[in-house]
Structure 1
């Protein structure tokens, strides 16, 4: 029981740490869907954990050694069909509750990011090229940027991602999941940023000695500001 003395300290350190889990602070429709799945998974895990803790505490208390039960061994129960059915059905139900929205979201997001020509319609199309150890973003008017990806808010962004050397992984945690950049192949990622701001982007696949420096900024701005940037900045 001595370890329980440290619980308040652990809780206090956690609350004061100021940690920000970016994937749980979404700024796009895709990231919101993924965040919801994380919350669902966490909720189911906590439900199981709470039940296990309650049962464990109950059994420890019920079958604890007392003065009257020293050396007493409880009788062995051969079977209990009700409990066996419950322990079999409950895990299956939990898996179904988790699997159905996960599979649906996976297929929806995959289709959204790779739906042929429909992928580029009514979208801001950006060619994303990865190389050791930098990113190049090329827009439809030929404008290029190496340090930041600029996108208008509330408008679909359609990214076509490639690599010129090794496998990289494009990732802006607050805008959506990772997408590999593969030499000789083009991959696609689509999302609608719905919050203005500047978000950290990085390569999420170890790609060599300069991997840690392969970072960029994803800046989501108003449509007017985006059009102005497109005309006046870049290479």
Structure 2
């Protein structure tokens, strides 16, 4: 019976195209590092807690020798109390330093003035399609083309409701707001074809709001722009 319950779960998982932990850009690598790093810290804490729990359960189990014995009332242990107060603080500091640094660096509110040498792409979201406008005025719908090894600056805006720009293998989600332009960067993307989607429910045809991202060489990108 238990095996039958697992079958629909496996079928649902086979339709999942999200590959966040397979980054193909510098931006994605930094975000994946935070996920793995925080998970590793969590597993360390969990392992220590489970081992201590198992040790105490075994040490203070009921036996024929101690059955009916009332243990001494321990008022406190300053060393242990200081230890389990200081250690969580240290772990939070260790996690906070890279988290704050990477989050601040990848904030979608950066000034465009420092990125004049980057490749700029205007991203316009509307129900239910993505329009990409390049520096020479060329437009594509639901197909994004960018050069490898460069900083790509996206100018995100929406014509109607809130959307969310997301290419899982290149970078995390970024909200696309109506009447407000947000700037978001993806650095050093590797050559390949990646699935993109809207990660914010935006209407009845939200599931169809997908796009393809093609990362090509700089030479191929320049030739494509001139076509």
Correspondence for 2:19 among 19, 22, 25? 22
How many angstroms does 1:109 deviate by? 1.7
Aligned to 1:221: 216
Aligned CA distance change for structure 1 residues 212 and 21 (closer, same or farther; 3 Å) = closer
* Per-residue deviation, 1:20: 7.5
- Cα offset for 1:200? 1.0
Partner of 1:93: 90
Give secondary structure in 2 for the equivalent of 1:128: strand
RMSD of equivalent CA atoms: 2.1
**3-state DSSP of counterpart to 2:37:** helix
Matched, 1:116 2:112: yes
- Which of 171, 191, 194 is the equivalent residue of 2:189? 194
Partner of residue 74, structure 1: 71
Distance 2:87 2:70 in 1: 30
Given candidates 167, 171, 178, the residue that maps to 1:176 is 171
Matched, 1:209 2:198: no
Q: Would you identify which runs of 4 or more consecutive aligned residues in structure 1 move more than 6 Å?
A: none
Unaligned runs of 5+ in 1: 1-5, 7-12
Q: How many residues align?
A: 217
Q: Is residue 33–residue 105 contact of structure 1 (8 Å, CA) maintained in 2?
A: yes
The change in CA–CA distance for 1:25 and 1:61 in structure 2 (over 3 A counts) is same
Whole-angstrom distance in 2 between the partners of 1:47 and 1:170: 34
Long gaps (5+) in structure 2: 4-9
Which of 128, 131, 135 lines up with 2:123 in the alignment?
128
Describe the shift of the 1:48–1:100 C-alpha distance in structure 2 as closer, same or farther (beyond 3 A): same
The more displaced of 61-70 and 202-211 is: 61-70
Q: Which residue of 2 aligns with 1:39?
A: 36
C-alpha displacement of 1:21: 5.7
TM-score normalised according to structure 1 size: 0.86
Q: Does the aligned pair in 2 maintain the 1:179–1:188 contact within 8 Å?
A: no
Give the secondary structure class of the aligned counterpart of 1:67.
coil
